[in-house]
Each structure stands twice: as C-alpha cells, then as structure tokens.
Amino acid sequence: MTNGLRAARWSWTIATLLATALALAPAWAADVRGRITLANGQPAANEDILLNGSRVGRTDVAGVYWLNLPAGAHVLTVKGQEVRVQVSPNGSRSDIKLK
C-alpha cells in the first residue's frame, strides 16, 4: 500500500468517526435548567438532585439548578419527591414546584 493511499484511508476513517460523533452528540447530552421551589413558594435551597439514586446535581441557595443529561424523559428525585423532566436535544428549562 502506498503512503498516499494509506493517508487517504486514515483521512476517510477520521472524517467518518468525526461525522458520526457530531451527529450523535445532541442525543448524548443536553442542558436542563430551572428553579425548584417548595410548596410554600420558597426556594428548595442546597438540595441534592438524584437520577436513578445517584446525585447528578444540587440546587443553589436560590433553588436554581443546571444539569447536563441525555436528551429525553427523566425522573429526578428532589427531597424524596419524584419529578419528571423532558430534556430537549437543544437544551430545556424546567421550573419545578414540589408538593
């Protein structure tokens, strides 16, 4: 195999891998952000946010959160309550009021 043919083959392989990665990237992860409040309207300050029992984030003192999750539907747990969120491939905002 000549050096020119070998280089062309590697270029094609790298280009294919890069194109595939870029095409799939939006499905891998997207941002979801918002504010979580308690039933009385106060912010859910400094609360852990769980996904499948694992901590994926935490609210700040104002109840604001920002997560990076795969696009799609997820069930988060905050203060022991399950909360459904939908994450768009382009990012989403989801304000949550706990019961």
CATH number for 48:
2.60.40.10
Q: Is residue 60 part of a domain?
A: yes
Q: Is residue 37 part of a domain?
A: yes
The closest of 32, 56, 39 to 47, measured between CA atoms, is 56
Q: Is residue 12 part of a domain?
A: no
Q: Is residue 62 part of a domain?
A: yes
Q: Is residue 55 part of a domain?
A: yes
Report the C-alpha gap between 70 and 95 in whole angstroms. 18
Proportion of the chain above pLDDT 90, given as a percent? 66
User: What's the pLDDT tens digit per position in 54-73?
Assistant: 999 999 999 999 999 999 99
Q: Is the pTM of this model over 0.85?
A: no
Q: Is residue 66 part of a domain?
A: yes
- H/E/C letters for each residue in the chain? CCHHHHHHHHHHHHHHHHHHHHHHHHHHCEEEEEEEECCCCCECCCCEEEECCEEEEECCCCCEEEEEECCEEEEEEECCEEEEEEECCCCEECCEECC
Q: What is the mean pLDDT of the chain?
A: 85
- Banded model confidence at residue 19, pLDDT cuts 50, 70, 90: low
Count: domains in the chain: 1
- Decide if pLDDT at 12 tops 80: no
Domain span at residue 73? 28-97
Q: Is residue 50 part of a domain?
A: yes
